[in-house]
Amino acid sequence: HDGRVAGTPKAASLKKALGIDPRVPLMHALAVRRQVLLVRETEDWWELLFPHALLENLVYGERGVALFQRHPKGLPLTHRWRIEDAGRIATDGENQERWRV
């Protein structure tokens, strides 16, 4: 995890460790193998190598975690917010997390 080492030598080192042909681009090889890598760049920095070709196979879900309310006078800022329960938008009458200012 030496931050002074440039990208090309790092990729070559990874390819050698993983048994990847040095002539094949690293991201292409990872996509073919359906792999991602978490690489330690420096003492405090990690980088996730995720080939774009894998995005079409990615299974994911979405859920709301907070509800934000606009400022009542139309100012471009949040007036108040609250945490939502399991991604469900609740009405103000329900027993939910209190609004935070």
Q: Does position 65 have pLDDT exceeding 60, yes or no?
A: yes
The whole-angstrom separation of Cα 83 and Cα 96 is 8
Higher pLDDT, residue 42 or 68: 68
Query: What local confidence, expressed as pLDDT, does residue 96 receive?
Result: 55
pLDDT, the chain, mean: 82
Q: What is the mean pLDDT of residues 43-47?
A: 85
Whether the predicted model's global pTM rises above the 0.75 cut = no
Strands (E), 9-77: 37-42, 45-49, 66-70
